Structure 1
Amino acid sequence: MTVRLIVVSHSEKIADGAVELAAQMAPDVLMVAAGGTADGRIGTSLEKVMSAIDQSTGGDGVVVLTDLGSAVLTAESALELTADPSGVLLADAPLVEGLVAAAVAAQGGADAEAVKRAAEAVYGSGAPAPSPVSSVAEGSVTGAGPEFTGDFELINQAGMHARPAAKIAGGLSALNAEVTVNGVDGASMTSLMTLAAGKGSMLHVEAWGPDAERALNYVGGLVQAGFGEP
């Protein structure tokens, strides 16, 4: 079981598209789109959101992401009416990037609170929490005390495109560490994509904080495995 995600948008197409995008990074996470009104117009529907919550029960919790202000109000109203509101969390995060970060965290086995924080960390406001990480080859990470650095070569054919950026950002945002990758925020999918790092590029990773070594292991493990891509 994983945490399940609900997307509330004023546009049915936006909600469906955001779910389609995030599903590429987190194929095992149930995501339900609740966009537009019941009759297909721009707006939000309390009934749609309630139905999405009903469809999402049975997992390890539910996190809801929204776009504009009234979508938040609709989601809050739905939470008030649901039978068990304690199992449903509302994240304050940008819809697309927040959803991707949340989906990657959920795919990695994070609990509902950590998934919510992963989404909110896109704004830099979420308090990080631990999540599972991979290991890197012996000797590839150096450091002393709370600070660690590592250099890793991109081996996947496409380099740092959306999926690898999402995997790095989603995992790091759920760790208690500050991490930079070639000088940009490692917990920001957008910032990582601006690196335009192709195959063969070196990623210089620096980390501070209680989970600094785990963060280095996480990034290094992903890079050395080619993000699971050719």
Structure 2
Amino acid sequence: MIGIVLVSHSEALANAAMDLALQMVHGTQPPIRIAAGAAGGFGTDATAIASAIDDLATTDGVLVITDLGSAILSASLALEIRASTHQVVISDGPFVEATTAAVVGAAAGSSLADITAEASNALSAKKTQTLTAPHASVGNDTAPGSPAASAEERLINPMGLHARPASLLVQTAGEFSADVELTNTTAGRGPVNASSVIGLLSLAASRNDRIRIDANGPDASQAVNAVKQLVLQGFGELS
């Protein structure tokens, strides 16, 4: 599993971002370390960052997420003075959104490269939802062709496909050997890959919107059925 280091000028901010992101995870949580504040106040400390990175040396790689520009300088210095040699990437994504995307991706078993891309693209869902005209396609990385399995259902949970249902969907889809895509057929958004929480949020799918689930791969039918059941159960949010 990928490890995550949060580098912030404020320890309170780092802890809040971590707590928010962990609300999206169901089951095993990824290893997270915080290197925040300096000398009991505000600032960043390269030595503390290096220590946090070294503490995650047994992971499959580490993504470092920073808040302000000077935190990137401290993180870069930390890479030079750390004792460990495992792969580390410093994210250019926005602190809160990138932390959420990284935590969800790591918990789902995504690679460091995929998590890095998700964190870097973490504002795309917000940008998409501020546009007045729907996109015909958002983030379609799947080869063309008819899906091996497909279903379409209406969202019945009160807030639609917001962050927590999206993260649950990512984890569920990740349990199967299948490429799963979702499309908001009501708004004409998608398809997006179900492994991307940012992509799923970009669908801007509200209650009563219809969602099409497509899958290809050995477990296509099982994956579609599992995602379909999440939708039918309102992602556990029905009273």
Provide the rounded CA distance (Å) in 2 between the counterparts of 1:45 and 1:73: 10
Provide the rounded CA distance (Å) in 2 between the counterparts of 1:171 and 1:65: 25
Q: What stretches of structure 2 of length at least 5 have no aligned partner?
A: 125-138, 215-219
Q: TM-score, normalised by structure 2?
A: 0.66
Conserved 8 A contact 1:4-1:59: yes
Q: TM-score, normalised by structure 1?
A: 0.68
How far residue 166 of structure 1 moved from its aligned partner, in angstroms, is 4.2
Conserved 8 A contact 1:100-1:170: no
Name the Cα RMSD after superposition.
4.0
How far residue 197 of structure 1 moved from its aligned partner, in angstroms, is 2.1
Instruction: In structure 2, give the amino acid aligned to 1:29.
Output: P
- Per-residue deviation, residues 53-106 of structure 1 (Å, max 9, x unmatched): 122221221111111111111111111112334421112111111111111111
Provide the rounded CA distance (Å) in 2 between the counterparts of 1:110 and 1:118: 10
Provide the rounded CA distance (Å) in 1 between the counterparts of 2:199 and 2:9: 23
Provide the rounded CA distance (Å) in 1 between the counterparts of 2:213 and 2:104: 21
How far residue 196 of structure 1 moved from its aligned partner, in angstroms, is 7.0
What corresponds to 2:131 in structure 1?
Answer: none
3-state SS in 1 of match to 2:23: helix
How far residue 168 of structure 1 moved from its aligned partner, in angstroms, is 5.3
- Per-residue deviation, residues 190-217 of structure 1 (Å, max 9, x unmatched): 983894723xx2333588xxxxx89x94
CA gap of 1:53–1:228, structure 2 versus 1, over 3 A, is farther
Instruction: In structure 1, give the amino acid aligned to 2:206.
Output: A
**Would you say how many aligned residue pairs link Structure 1 and Structure 2?**
206
Conserved 8 A contact 2:94-2:122: yes
Conserved 8 A contact 2:7-2:35: yes
The correspondence of residues 132-151 of structure 1 with structure 2, limited to 5 A, is 145=145, 151=152
Instruction: In structure 2, give the amino acid aligned to 1:83.
Output: A
Provide the rounded CA distance (Å) in 1 between the counterparts of 2:81 and 2:109: 28
Dislocated runs of 4+, deviation >6 Å: 127-130, 146-149, 169-172, 175-179
Tell me whether 1:76 sits opposite 2:81 in the alignment: no
What corresponds to 1:119 in structure 2?
Answer: 119
What corresponds to 1:61 in structure 2?
Answer: 61
Provide the rounded CA distance (Å) in 1 between the counterparts of 2:168 and 2:29: 14
Among all aligned residue pairs of Structure 1 and Structure 2, give the percentage whose two residues are the same amino acid.
34
The correspondence of residues 48-197 of structure 1 with structure 2, limited to 5 A, is 48-123=48-123, 145=145, 151-156=152-157, 159-167=160-168, 181=184, 182-184=187-189, 189=198, 192=201, 195=204, 197=206
Conserved 8 A contact 1:128-1:176: no
How far residue 3 of structure 1 moved from its aligned partner, in angstroms, is 0.8
Instruction: In structure 1, give the amino acid aligned to 2:23.
Output: Q
**Which of 196, 211, 229 is matched with 1:204 structurally?**
211
Provide the rounded CA distance (Å) in 2 between the counterparts of 1:86 and 1:5: 13
What corresponds to 2:136 in structure 1?
Answer: none
CA gap of 1:219–1:81, structure 2 versus 1, over 3 A, is farther
